[in-house]
C-alpha cells in the first residue's frame, strides 16, 4: 500500500514548498493585488454575459409557400380630404382590392393636424334593405325599390341601392362616372356635398391590409379607382381635373408584427410639396424574419428596406396619376434571430481560463521583476567590490 501511495505522490503536479524557503516581496504583493482586481473584473464581465441573452443571427433560404402578408400603416395627408382619399392594393397574381374600406379608419384633420372626426371608412348613408320591386321611381319616393345601375347592370336582377354600388358597377364595366349629380343614390348620400364640406381639410388614415405573399403594390390616391378591360389599370374617376397636393407623413409602416429591435426605416418620413399633382413612389424590399425570444416565444414578421422616387403628373397620362404608391417585393432569403444564453459549461471554461491565465501571466511578470532586481543587486555589489 505504501508503494502505491509513493507512486501517487510522484504524480503530484503541484509540489509543495516548505514555508521556510518562501520569500515574499513588495513587488509580488502589488502584482497579486493588481491581478486579483483584473480577475474580479473579468469574472463579473463573464457573469454579465452569462446572465444576459445574446442574439444569434442566421440567414436561410425562404422555402415557405403561399401565406399572407400583413401590412400595418398610419399615414397623414394634410391637404387631401378623407372623402376623396382611397386606398387600393394589387399584386402580380392579378388579385386586386379597390377603394378598400375594411379595417380602415379615417380621421378628418384641420390644417394644423388636429383631429376633427374619427370614423371607419364607410362614407354615405346605410344601404337600402332588400328591394320589393324592380328598377323604377326615385329613392326619395320609394325607399324599398331596386335601384338602377344606370346602364352598368350585368343582369336584369342586379340592383344598385347605394352610390358605392353604382361606382362598383361602373368599375366592373371599366367606365368612368363623369357627373355624380345625375345619380340618385349619390345625391341621397350627399357625396358631393361631403367633398365640398371637407374642402381644405386633411386626413389621417390608419389600418391594416392582408395581401398575398407575392410582389404587389398598395396606393393612396385622391379619387376612386377602377379596373379596365383585361389588364390592371388604376385611374381616377372622381375629381379628375382637380389639383391635388400629396404632401404626406408616414407615421408608421410595418410588414408584420413588432418585435424587440425591429426598425422600420420609413417611420417618420415626411414630404411636403409646394406644387400640385405629384406621383410619389416607394420601392420596398421585404425580408421575411423570424424572431425567437429567450422564453421560446416566436414572432413571424418582416424587415424591409426602401428607396423612393417622385415625379410631376400631367393630366391625360393614364399611367401617371397623383398619389403615394408603395411597390413591394419579397426577398428569397429569410433572417432568423434567436435569443440564447451562454451554456453553463462554456461559462465555467471561460472562468477557469481567466483565473489560470492571469495567475500564470502574473507569475511570469513577478519572476521577471524578482530576478531582474537580484541581477541589479549583484551588478551593484560587483561594482562596489
Ranges of beta strands (E only) in the chain are 54-61, 68-77, 85-91, 96-97, 104-109, 115-120, 202-212, 216-222, 248-255, 270-271, 278-292, 298-312, 323-330, 333-340
| pLDDT at residue 59 in the model | 92
| pLDDT at residue 231 in the model | 34
* Percent of the chain with pLDDT strictly greater than 70: 78
pTM: 0.64
Q: Strands across the sheet with 68-77, in order? A: 115-120, 104-109, 202-212, 68-77, 248-255, 270-271
pLDDT tens readout for residues 265-283? 999 999 988 777 889 999 9
Query: What is the C-alpha to C-alpha distance for residues 343 and 273, in angstroms, rounded to an integer?
Result: 56
Q: Hey, which residues does 287 pair with through a beta bridge?
A: 303
Q: Indicate if the pLDDT at residue 53 is higher than 70.
A: yes
| pLDDT at residue 373 in the model | 76
- pLDDT bin (cut points 50, 70, 90) of residue 241 is very low
What spatial distance separates the first Cα and last Cα of the chain, rounded to whole Å? 57
Q: Taking Cα atoms as reference points, which of 320, 322, 312, 308 lies closest to residue 250?
A: 308
Determine contact, residues 234/281, Cβ cutoff 8 Å.
no
pLDDT tens readout for residues 76-114? 999 888 888 889 899 998 888 877 888 889 998 887 778
Q: Taking Cα atoms as reference points, which of 152, 151, 126 lies closest to residue 139?
A: 126
Which three three-digit cell numbers place residue 173? 364595366
Q: Indicate if the pLDDT at residue 228 is higher than 60.
A: no
Determine contact, residues 217/94, Cβ cutoff 8 Å.
no
| pLDDT at residue 192 in the model | 63
Which three three-digit cell numbers place residue 313? 403628373
| pLDDT at residue 123 in the model | 41
Residue for cell digits 519572476? Answer: 367
- pLDDT bin (cut points 50, 70, 90) of residue 193 is low
| pLDDT at residue 239 in the model | 46
pLDDT tens readout for residues 317-343? 556 788 899 999 999 999 999 888 778
Q: Which residues of 288-314 are buried (b: 16+ CB within 10 A; e: fewer)?
A: bbbbbeeeeeebebbbbebeeeeeebe
Q: Indicate if the pLDDT at residue 191 is higher than 80.
A: no
Q: Taking Cα atoms as reference points, which of 224, 314, 237, 319 lies closest to residue 277?
A: 314
| pLDDT at residue 215 in the model | 93
Q: Indicate if the pLDDT at residue 135 is higher than 50.
A: no
| pLDDT at residue 56 in the model | 85
User: Taking the domains of the chain in order of start, what are their residue ranges?
Assistant: 23-52+342-384, 61-123+199-339, 125-189
Q: Indicate if the pLDDT at residue 40 is higher than 70.
A: yes
Average pLDDT of the chain is 78
| pLDDT at residue 17 in the model | 64
Amino acid at each position: 500500500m505504501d508503494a502505491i501511495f509513493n507512486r501517487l505522490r510522484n504524480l503530484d503536479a503541484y509540489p509543495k514548498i516548505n514555508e521556510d524557503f518562501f520569500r515574499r516581496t513588495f513587488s509580488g504583493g502589488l502584482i497579486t493585488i493588481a491581478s486579483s482586481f483584473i480577475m474580479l473584473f473579468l469574472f463579473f464581465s463573464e457573469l454579465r454575459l452569462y446572465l444576459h441573452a445574446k442574439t444569434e443571427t442566421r440567414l436561410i433560404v425562404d422555402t415557405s409557400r403561399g401565406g399572407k402578408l400583413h401590412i400595418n400603416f398610419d399615414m397623414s395627408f394634410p391637404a387631401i380630404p378623407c372623402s376623396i382619399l382611397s386606398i387600393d392594393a394589387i399584386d402580380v397574381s392579378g388579385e386586386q382590392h379597390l377603394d378598400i374600406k375594411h379595417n380602415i379608419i379615417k380621421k378628418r384633420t384641420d390644417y394644423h393636424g388636429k383631429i376633427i372626426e374619427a370614423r371607419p371608412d364607410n362614407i354615405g348613408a346605410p344601404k337600402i334593405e332588400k328591394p320589393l320591386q324592380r328598377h323604377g321611381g326615385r329613392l326619395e319616393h320609394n325607399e324599398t325599390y331596386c335601384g338602377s345601375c344606370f346602364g352598368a347592370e350585368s343582369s336584369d336582377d342586379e340592383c344598385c341601392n347605394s352610390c358605392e354600388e353604382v361606382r362598383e358597377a361602373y368599375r366592373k364595366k371599366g367606365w368612368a362616372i363623369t357627373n355624380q349629380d345625375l345619380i340618385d343614390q349619390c345625391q341621397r348620400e350627399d357625396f358631393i356635398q361631403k367633398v365640398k364640406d371637407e374642402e381644405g381639410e386633411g386626413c389621417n388614415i390608419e389600418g391594416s391590409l392582408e395581401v398575398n405573399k407575392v410582389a404587389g403594390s398598395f396606393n393612396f390616391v385622391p379619387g376612386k379607382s377602377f379596373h379596365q378591360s383585361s389588364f390592371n389599370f388604376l385611374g381616377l374617376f372622381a375629381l379628375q381635373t382637380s389639383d391635388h397636393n400629396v404632401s404626406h407623413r408616414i407615421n408608421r409602416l410595418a410588414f408584420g408584427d413588432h418585435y424587440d429591435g425591429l426598425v422600420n426605416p420609413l417611420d417618420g418620413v415626411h414630404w411636403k410639396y409646394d406644387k400640385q399633382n405629384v406621383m410619389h413612389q416607394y420601392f420596398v424590399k421585404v425580408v421575411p424574419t423570424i424572431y425567437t425570444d429567450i422564453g421560446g416565444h416566436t414572432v413571424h414578421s418582416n424587415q424591409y428596406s426602401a428607396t423612393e422616387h417622385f415625379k410631376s403628373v400631367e393630366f391625360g397620362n393614364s399611367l401617371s396619376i397623383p398619389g403615394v404608391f408603395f411597390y413591394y417585393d419579397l426577398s428569397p432569403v429569410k433572417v432568423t434571430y434567436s435569443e440564447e444564453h451562454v451554456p453553463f459549461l462554456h461559462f465555467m471554461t471561460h472562468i477557469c481560463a481567466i483565473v489560470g491565465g492571469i495567475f500564470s501571466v502574473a507569475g511570469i511578470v513577478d519572476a521577471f521583476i524578482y530576478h531582474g532586481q537580484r541581477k541589479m543587486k549583484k551588478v551593484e555589489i560587483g561594482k562596489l567590490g
